[in-house]
Amino acid sequence: MPELVFFSGTMDCGKSTLALQIEHNRSARGLQGVIFTRDDRAGEGKLSSRLGLVTEAVEAGPDMDLFGYVVAEIEQGCKVDYLIVDEAQFLSSEQIDQLACVVDDLGLDVYAFGITTDFRTKLFPGSQRLIELADRIEALQVEAMCWCGARATHNARTVGGEMVVEGEQVVVGDVNRPAAEVGYEVLCRRHHRRRMTSSSAALAR
């Protein structure tokens, strides 16, 4: 039976790497899929991993009808066996509903990858809807680590190395940005609550 599967985890836990691995495994068996992404760190229309792997993808803009796109591809004679959706947290609730329709009405597997909560520990709308609709939710087993060595469970936004808790929900950044820019860091709950990043901890020593 086709499934809508949500692979979730913090930043830096290998979500995009797994998405690329699933794509590789299926394409090696002669299957063809559509890859959607939104606001990838490598730029528009890219699915990239922090390990340096990159592949082309369809940029799923906020007004795109994902179900309609797949139907149009099939009607034009394209073979579509599955969907991979990276950065699924950035999709709207309506777009997640469209992915469920791809599974139920077209009989295709959909593999969605994303983080569940933002830098304020609030659910992204796309992730919330995936939790509500997914046939299966898989927590990534590669654990990201806080600077203290504990398991990282929270995503923090930083500006100049200092953690911030206000601002737009979506600001594209990366864990490898210079400290003066908007960046992100994964923290354990204790240090997220204390707003203690690796930079602020180093200054306190």
| Calculated CA dihedral for residues 121, 172, 144, 157, nearest 10 degrees | -50
* 87 assigned to active site: yes
CA pair distance 72, 76, nearest whole angstrom: 6
Instruction: Tokens for 148, please give them.
Output: 């203290």
What does residue 140 show for φ and ψ, rounded to 5 degrees?
-60, 135
Catalytic residue among 56, 87, 94, 168: 87
Q: By the 8 A CB rule, do 15 and 130 touch?
A: no
Q: CA angle, corner 18, sides to 96 and 8, nearest 5?
A: 45
In DSSP terms, 136 is beta-bridged to 5
State the catalytic residues: 87
